[in-house]
Structure 1
Amino acid sequence: MDAISYERAGDVAGAVRAAQQPGAVFIGGGTNLLDLMKGGVARPLRLIDITHIGGLDTVTTQPDGGIRIGALVRNSDAANHALVREHYPLLSQALLAGASSQLRNMATVGGNLLQRTRCGYFYDTAFTQCNKRMPGSGCAALDGLNRTHAILGTSAQCIAVNPSDMSVALAALDAVVRVSGPAGERVIPFAEFHRLPGDRPDVDTTLQPGELITAVDLPPPLFSSHAHYLKVRDRASYAFALISVAAALQMDGDRVSTVRIALGGVAHKPWRASAAEQMLNGQTLTQDTLRNAAAAALRDARPQRDNRFKVQLAQRAIVRAVNQAAGRAGGVV
């Protein structure tokens, strides 16, 4: 085993300075990083413990009416916080759908954003073809077992999916990620935070070296009354999504005045279903309109040999999630 040094950061500035050392990584709850280290996938030389930095473990209201969730807020605390449950039920539902209660009690919001893919070829170092782990080596999933892999936004270099439930809800809610780094503080719109694989699948996000996530900001609540997170998985608990849908609506009777739809389990990043949103905005919510919108959301799907079922499954999941968000029965997965 490689020697690993440990440092406890006392503040954000100290953590950023410490992260400039070669091989340094931040550690919060460690629920993903420690797995990667035990499997030999991640080999950090220095762990920068950020869990004792004050001010990053709170949920606070903002002047514009939105909320700020500190990066060190535990997933369970975020899901059950009164402000989140009342005003952002979509986020609460997504958090509670993820992992087990024990993991949610340890995992942090900032760490959740940085989860690496759960592709079996990435996690198993016996496979030498993995462009995420060893750039330029190939992608074993392309010709291997790819039932759980991506159907949207793929490249010839990688077909892995982002595993986060929380991130799907944040994509639908137009969140903003706040970071601090060597060049100072900046904000990243959520749609720009995660990357598609392209020819660099080893790079998951647009974070710059040494940057630390400090908070996630949510805009003023629009979808307190009509929101639903649907997770379709192989078993009822502690399983990653085959398909997930975060649906949030503002309704004027039967008419959709505003809609947000994001998909999980389909791409290298949370996938905003913009085509479906455009077709539903301002429309009366009929089953035909909804089915057409769901089909549009998957129009550019490029499934693999084993996951062609995901296209129809995603369409049906969109119909069901939007119907449930609207408070209507219907839509069979």
Structure 2
Amino acid sequence: MKRFDYARAADVAEALREGQGDGAAFIAGGTNLLDLMKLRVLTPDRLVDINRLALGGIERDGDGLRIGALVTNSDLAADETVRRDYPVLSRALLAGASGQLRNKATTGGNLLQRTRCYYFYDIAMPCNKRDPGSGCQARGGVTRLHAILGGSDKCIATHPSDMAVAMLALKAEVEVEGTDGARRRVPLDDFYVPPGDTPQVETVLGAGELITAVILPLPAGDRQIYAKVRDRASYAFALVSCAAVIGMDGDRIGHAALAFGGIAPRPWRNAEVDGLLTGQAPSDDLFRRAADLLLADAKGHGGNDFKIPLARRVLIDTLRKATRGDAA
């Protein structure tokens, strides 16, 4: 690990001052950052410890919920209000990582975790995300975990977060603070940047900006499911996951919000799929058409070709269960 300076911030303003410059990085739980530093994938000159900042707590925000950026994944998953009103989020958190990691990982850090692409983690391999312009070894390489949607010629890595997938289906907003003290809210759907020609740019965060909270509106659907397919029953990233928030209006779908993990460089949502489902009576034919729409532009890369039919099956099965009321 490269030597680095360390600063412990007492408040947000100090953290933002200390976090200025390309060589600085914020650290909270460190469950992803420390691994990357040990492998020299990331080599910050300065770590700014934000654990003393007043960014904890889960509280009401109007009809919704405000989750501090330093709330741990364990505390968020166990919160009574989250379990009752946002069960898809609690289930997604419990499906991710191990209990020990959930005890340290934070809400803000979870949103910002880096891809688990084999080639990103191996500094001997070219990777445009780690070293812009060096190439993408994944293309033509081992692609089992890689994207079938939303990738580019420069990058086909996937985003690993389970939590972010559920939050996307819940229409979350990310609260961000900058050095001028101003706060802004960014819809999670706009927070992540597609890889395009600059895969090293993953979010809309500006230099030195800090996530302070995540805001969840009151869910529009009470039938919530998080489905995750992975290689083993625990401590494995999603091959395909689906978060569904469904509200029924009599015998028709009154509200539909779907988000997917394991298939794209960012938590994936297709608003046209939600629109297709809304107002319709549930049926296997409708669900198949939703899968056709979701996967219209899907492209496998050899080792991940199986994800296309797998995503279809996961989507159809999730919609069947949600519209039947198999989930809370």
Q: TM-score range by the shorter chain?
A: over 0.9
Paired residue for 1:85? Answer: 83
What amino acid maps onto 2:280 in structure 1? Answer: Q
Distance 1:44 1:278, change over 3 A: same
Paired residue for 1:15? Answer: 15
Distance 1:257 1:298 in 2: 23
Distance 1:169 1:60 in 2: 19
The Cα shift of 1:275 comes to 2.5
8 Å Cα contact 2:149/2:299 also seen in 1: yes
Moved more, 35-44 or 320-329: 320-329
What amino acid maps onto 1:286 in structure 2? Answer: S
8 Å Cα contact 1:230/1:244 also seen in 2: yes
8 Å Cα contact 2:21/2:207 also seen in 1: no
- Give the counterpart of 2:322 among 318, 321, 325: 325
Distance 2:311 2:260 in 1: 8
8 Å Cα contact 1:274/1:297 also seen in 2: no
1:269 paired to 2:266: yes
The Cα shift of 1:45 comes to 0.8
Paired residue for 2:307? Answer: 310
What amino acid maps onto 1:195 in structure 2? Answer: V
Distance 1:266 1:206 in 2: 21
Distance 2:294 2:22 in 1: 42
1:136 paired to 2:145: no
Distance 1:22 1:151, change over 3 A: closer
8 Å Cα contact 2:128/2:199 also seen in 1: yes
TM-score norm. by structure 1 comes to: 0.95
Distance 1:221 1:11 in 2: 32
- Give the counterpart of 2:231 among 231, 234, 241: 234
Unaligned stretches of 5+ residues in structure 1: none
Distance 1:87 1:105, change over 3 A: same
Paired residue for 2:27? Answer: 27
Supply the RMSD in Å over aligned alpha carbons. Answer: 1.1
Paired residue for 1:288? Answer: 285
8 Å Cα contact 1:169/1:229 also seen in 2: yes
The Cα shift of 1:294 comes to 1.3
Give aligned-pair identity as a percent. Answer: 54
Matches within 5 A, 1:11-90: 11-54=11-54, 56-63=55-62, 65-90=63-88
Distance 2:185 2:276 in 1: 30
Distance 1:276 1:3, change over 3 A: same
Paired residue for 1:221? Answer: 219
Q: Report Cα offsets for 1:35-93 as digits up to 9, x if no partner.
A: 10011101011110001112x11000012x10000000000100110111111111111
Distance 2:251 2:22 in 1: 57
The Cα shift of 1:327 comes to 3.3
Unaligned stretches of 5+ residues in structure 2: none
Paired residue for 2:206? Answer: 208
What amino acid maps onto 1:15 in structure 2? Answer: A
